[in-house]
Amino acid sequence: MSFHYYLEMLKMPFVGKGRKVTFTVAAAALAVFLLVVFVGKSGDLDKLAVTLKSAFDRPWYLAGGVAMFSLSLLCGMIRWYILLRTLKLPITFGETFRLYATGHFFNVLGPGATGGDFVKGAWIAIKCPGRRTQAVTSIAAERLIGFFAMIIFVSTISLFRKDFFYDKPVLTLLIHIVYSVLVGCIVLMLLLTVIDWGTLSSRVHPKKGGMAEKTLEAMLNIWKTFRVCLTHPSATLGAIALSFANHVIDVLCYFLLSRSVAMTLPLRDLFVISPISNAVAALPVTPGGAGVRENMLQVMMDSVGVSRTQSTALGLLMFGAIIFWAVVSGTIMVSGLALTKKKPFGPSSDTMECAP
């Protein structure tokens, strides 16, 4: 794959048919609108500016919180790398690192809510031409395991903090939705791992060479990939453990940033607020969950008596940390482009291993 082709692939999230462009513009506009609403609800913008400025008076907390977010990204990257190696796809650690950084850049600063996943999928599909379905499905498997672990994490925390969720009707409704999603995730996991869809499909006899046969074959390949990822003991346990570590690190990130603005909210409350905010932000509504995450954070902090000025400042600081690491990820992406330009890779021995 030449440097020029790689560059064209990175442009793909920015171009497309009218419907895709409309969705992209709408998602970005919604993110801006939600962030404006979020800041507007702080009440006193001058006081908010003073609170944000005070974070620099406690640089160790501020720098620690921003640095902590990089560990969260690292957990996600290693989780995906484990699944890639489980599937025996010849993607090196360095390639995974650069590609995950590229994905974070496009998820946060690129158009739409899944631009980063699109780029990652396009790259590994080209890298492994003989196993494109498995390569692309590994991204969905990594997302699914991460989401499942997040729902388990939130549900477990809620069992120890019933006082938090049952004081206000909106939070009670929210946690019941989380429980419903957990049940749905468990059912999905059972469908993917317990039922042998290969045996069931053998009873179907679609027309040879027809669309039905091709569709069935693709669905079976997707199922087999999910099953390998979800039933490999060490890979599954490692991916789930990294997901839990990811959420704990996010909580610590919020904790350090909250201390930079002199917020005294107990860590035990942040263990509830942070995962819920991240869970809601996982909805594919805006790029990187921007605006959705911040408004949910504000609602949750209202319930524990945190002032709007402080909760808004914390949300903006976390948003700033995400943007900062997106810029760093973009730099890593550009360095990868430079490396590709100097040493373009074509059908290497690694690539040939992907062939059937």
Alpha-carbon distance of 269 to 163, in angstroms, equals: 11
User: What percentage of the chain reaches a pLDDT higher than 90?
Assistant: 32
Question: What's the confidence (pLDDT) of residue 349?
Answer: 39
Judge whether 220 and 198 are in contact, CB under 8 Å. Answer: yes
Letter string b/e over residues 325-352, b meaning 16 or more CB atoms within 10 A of that residue's CB = bbeebbebbeebbeebeeeeeeeeeebe
Chain centroid to CA 266: how far? 26
Output phi, psi for 264, to 5 deg.
Answer: -110, 25
Lowest mean per-residue pLDDT among 8-12, 49-53, 91-95, 106-110? 8-12
pLDDT of residue 337: 61
Evaluate whether residue 306 is within a structural domain: yes
Q: CA-CA distance, 62 to 59, in Å (whole number)?
A: 5
Confidence of residue 184 (pLDDT cuts 50, 70, 90): very high
Reported confidence tier of residue 347, pLDDT bands at 50, 70, 90 = very low
Is this prediction's pTM over 0.75?
yes
The Cβ of residue 92 has, within 10 Å, a number of other Cβ atoms equal to: 11
In the three-class reduction of DSSP (H, G, I as helix; E, B as strand; rest coil), residue 97 is classed as: helix
Q: Are 275 and 250 in contact (CB under 8 A)?
A: yes
- Asked whether the beta carbons of 354 and 90 are under 8 A apart, the reply is yes
**Cβ(83)–Cβ(66) below 8 Å:** no
Residue 277 lies in a domain: yes
* Residue 266 burial (10 A CB sphere; 0-12, 13-18, 19+): exposed
Which residue, among 89, 151, 149, 147, has the nearest Cα to 120 in the 3D structure? 89
Mean pLDDT, the chain, as a whole number?
A: 83
d(C-alpha 193, C-alpha 191), whole Å: 6
Residue of higher predicted confidence among 276 and 315:
315
| Residues 10-26 pLDDT 10s | 555 555 555 666 777 78
Per-residue pLDDT at 136: 84
Q: Is residue 166 part of a domain?
A: yes
In a domain, 188, yes or no: yes
Kindly state whether residue 322 falls inside one of the protein's structural domains: yes
In a domain, 354, yes or no: no
Residue 166 tokens, joined: 């049952």
Contact between 124 and 209 (Cβ < 8 Å): no
CA distance 150 to 152: 5
**One-letter amino acid identity for 100?**
Y
**What are the residue ranges of helices labelled H in 87-210?**
93-109, 115-127, 132-160, 162-165, 169-193, 197-201
Q: Do 59 and 294 touch, CB atoms closer than 8 A?
A: no
Rounded CA separation 201/212 (Å): 12
Q: State mean pLDDT over 42-60.
A: 92
Give CA–CA dist 175/177, Å, rounded.
5
Query: End-to-end alpha-carbon separation of the chain, Å?
Result: 19
**Residue 261 belongs to some domain of the structure:** yes
Mean pLDDT of 229-244: 91
Q: Tell me if 185 sits within 8 A of 151, measured CB to CB.
A: yes
pLDDT tens digits for range 241-266: 999 999 999 999 999 999 999 998 88
| Structural domain contains residue 356 | no
Give DSSP secondary structure letters for 185-236: HHHHHHHHHTS-HHHHHTT--PPTTSHHHHHHHHHHHHHHHHHHHHH-HHHH
**Range of the structural domain that residue 106 is part of:** 3-345
Number of domains in the chain: 1
Radius of gyration of the chain (CA): 22
